[in-house]
Amino acid sequence: MPAPAPDQARFQPASDQSLLIYFGQQISLNAHERVRKFLRLLELEPIPGVRNLHPAYCSVLVKFDPLKWRHEELEAILKQYLGHLEDVSLPEPRQVEIPVCYGGNHGPDLIDVSAIHGMTAAQVIELHSSTTYVVYFLGFVPGFAYLGELPEALVTPRLATPRRKVPAGSVGIAGNQTGVYPVETPGGWRLLGRTPIEMFRPDQSAFSLLSIGDRVRFIPISPERFAALESA
Amino acid sequence: MSVIQVQSPGLLTTVQDLGREGFGPIGVSPSGAADPISLRLGNRLVGNLEGAAGLEMTLLGGTFLFPEGAVIALTGSDFGATLDGAPLALWTPTEVKPGQTLRAGSTRSGARCYLCVQGGIAVKPFLGSASTHLLSGLGGYQGRALRKGDVLHIGPADTSFRAKSLAPRALERLSPRKVLRVTPGPQSDWFPEPSQQLFYNSTYRVAEEANRMGLRLEGPPVAQRSNGEMITEGVSLGAIQITAGGLPIILFVEQQTTGGYAKIANVISADLHSLGQLRPRDELRFERVDWDTARTLLLEQEQLLTSRDLFVP
């Protein structure tokens, strides 16, 4: 029987030095696991001339040395890797808890989000913090983890006009995703709260608090606790 | 150790090398010189490895005092620089005597001028690179643009250096372009033929907000088919994404690593350095080339950069 894996991926040149591999057409845990296994394989057996990898929900962008590889040559090699995808075993996911102070100055959109869904603020907090999220990937800016999936009742479009500045540590939602801004950036996600802990720690060996595949829970904390943790 | 004293930083001056590759999985883009060819050439003019760290000045240069002197080269755009008041030529090494001051002014050509110093700028590397990543405040000199009063250390120099200049013919062939050659983007087919024609036949203008993360363009909005829903995916350097309003943004060296807009095209590798010399309000166009052409153009560029004809004694 032919190996099914290579046929389930689609290759698409993205630039003269990058190739996109799609593992599916929609966000799913299955596609996510294949992204992780693919990354793991490339980590275990690196391909010379492959310079960078940009994982996402159901795709990986492979950046390569264009003087060493043509798209079709790299594609042929990557297809062999895909044939071994099912042999890769992934480690048990880490469980990470992130303290969040919801509402007030820390979560300026909590009231609006509650109103949109006809809920009380307490119900939104309860829903957001009672779900275990998967770190689908890190992207956008250093240490930004795309967490999914938000409970159906909390799915909210992003702000029509993004904020020019979102403070580091802000916890936001957009569509069926949630995430924490690791550094101050512009941003269009609706902000429910803020964590006092650092998401990106350049002075530590792991750099990012979260890694692809981690499982995350948000733990509600008081403004006093936030202040105490922030100054700790 | 010799130093450079920053007497005035200019508009936006940062420490840059050729960037850090390999950290896409934690969301860190490579950063690095916006015009890497100018940095590479500047380094070679002073006898450094081409990836040594130098200073990248933007639109308006700074004033730098060299208490112990140094061998330097200015490359990239002409910022009308002087050394103790005397005009300083680009693309050639200059010996700065102890106590001399280099003053760079406003640009007379493109967006960026590089100051390369024999020995390189010595900073603590972050993820293997000296490049400043402004958005995250990491790398380079304290993760930020230079300020008045900063003191930069110069690394140990290679003394076997022999002065040479860049051949004018080579320089001409490497000069930045205003017609950017592009290959199709991963969502090219989301843009119907009239949109493609509009995109390739129009002149776009660089918006004021252009920076190292991306160059926002102004011009005719490009319509896309509305049926496609983008799932956030990895994005490449030089990707031309079309925003909700139809205007293009070219992702640049400090780019976001993933994004959710459709990409109509991608600037070819051989023309990426040209992006680093585009100023706000500059006009540009796009020209479509095939994959083989993109590869050949890069190959020719790299051959020129490693050829003996590059320098004249």
Question: CATH code at A131?
Answer: 2.40.100.10
Q: Is residue A164 domain-shared with residue A51, that is, in the same domain?
A: no
The closest CB to that of B257, out of A12, A70, A140, belongs to: A140
The CATH number covering residue A65 comes to 3.30.1360.40
Residue A5, pLDDT score: 44
Give the one of A52, A60, A141 whose C-beta lies nearest to B136's C-beta: A141
Please judge whether B269 and A15 are an interchain contact, meaning their C-beta atoms are less than 8 angstroms apart. yes
Residue in chain A nearest B290 by alpha carbon: A16
Across the interface, whether the CB atoms of B234 and A54 are under 8 A apart is answered yes
Instruction: Assess whether pLDDT exceeds 50 at residue B292.
Output: yes
Q: Where in chain B is the domain with CATH 2.40.100.10?
A: 179-308
Work out the pLDDT band at B157, boundaries 50, 70, 90. confident
**Residue B26: which of B138, B130, B124, B123 has the closest Cα?**
B138
Q: What pLDDT band is residue B230 in, cutting at 50, 70 and 90?
A: confident
Distance CA(A137)–CA(A185), nearest Å, equals 19
The answer on A148 and A43 residing in a single domain is no
Q: Which of A20, A53, A71 sits opposite B25 (nearest CB)?
A: A53
Chain B environment of A200 (Cβ under 8 Å) = 136
Look at A53 and B263 and tell me if their CB atoms are within 8 Å.
no
The answer to whether residues A197 and A124 belong to one domain is yes
End of a domain among A54, A87, A120? A87
- Give the model confidence (pLDDT) of A22-72 as tens digits: 999 889 999 999 999 999 999 999 999 999 999 999 999 999 999 999 999
| Alpha-carbon distance values, A126 to A131, A225, B19, B120 (Å) | 9, 18, 43, 54
Query: In this model, does residue A2 exceed pLDDT 50?
Result: no
Neighbours of B68 (CB within 10 A): 13
Q: How far apart are CA A131 and CA B70, in angstroms?
A: 60
With H, G, I as helix, E, B as strand and everything else as coil, classify residue B18.
coil
**In sequence order, what are the beta bridge partners of B117?**
B72
Whether B186 and A12 lie within 8 Å, measured CB to CB: yes
A140 plus A173 within the same structural domain: yes
Q: Are B25 and B57 in contact (CB under 8 A)?
A: no
Are A213 and A100 found together in one domain?
yes
pLDDT at A166: 96
What sign does the dihedral B145-B150-B155-B158 (CA atoms) show?
positive
Q: Do B24 and A52 touch (CB under 8 A)?
A: yes
Of B126, B186, B237, the CB nearest to A20: B186
A224 and A131 within one domain: yes
The tally of domains found in chain A comes to: 2
Q: SS3 sequence, chain A?
A: CCCCHHHHCEEEEEECCEEEEECCCCCCHHHHHHHHHHHHHHHHCCCCCEEEEEECCCEEEEEECCCCCCHHHHHHHHHHHHHCHHHCCCCCCCEEEEEEEECCCCCCCHHHHHHHCCCCHHHHHHHHHCCCEEEEEECCCCCCEEEECCCHHHCECCCCCCEEEECCCEEEEEECEEEECCCCEEECCEEEEECCCCCEECCCCCEECCCCCCEEEEEECCHHHHHHHHHC
Shortest Cα distance from A87 to chain B (angstroms)? Answer: 22
The pLDDT assigned to A1 comes to 39
Are B183 and A70 contacting, i.e. CB atoms less than 8 angstroms apart? no
Say which CATH topology domain B179-308 has. Answer: Cyclophilin (2.40.100)
Distance (Å, whole) CA B141 – CA A12 = 38
Are A16 and A56 in a shared domain?
yes
- The mean predicted confidence, pLDDT, of chain B is 95
- State the pLDDT at residue A158: 87
Are A111 and A80 members of one domain? no
- What residues of B are in the A interface, CB distance below 8 Å? 21-28, 30, 126-127, 133, 135-138, 183-186, 231-239, 256-259, 263, 266-269, 291, 294-295, 298-299, 302
* Same domain membership, residue A161 and residue A81: no
Looking at the fold, whether A139 and A218 belong to one and the same domain comes out as yes
For residue B244, name the pLDDT band (cuts at 50, 70, 90): confident
Asked whether residue B125 carries a pLDDT value surpassing 50, the answer given is yes
| B231 neighbourhood in chain A, CB within 8 Å | 25-27, 56-59
Task: Note down the domain range covering A142.
Answer: 95-231
Cβ atoms < 10 Å from Cβ of B148? 11
End-of-domain residue from the set A25, A59, A87: A87
**Do A131 and A222 share a domain, yes or no?**
yes
Quickly state the pLDDT bin for B131 (edges 50, 70, 90).
very high
Q: Average pLDDT of A168-194?
A: 95
ipTM of the complex: 0.95
Same domain, A103 and A70: no
pLDDT average, residue stretch B203-216 = 94
- Are the Cβ atoms of A20 and B24 closer than 8 angstroms? no
The pLDDT of residue A3 is 41
Name the pTM for this structure: 0.94
Q: In B, which residues are within 8 Å of A71 by CB distance?
A: 291
Give dist(CA B149, CA B64) in Å, integer.
10
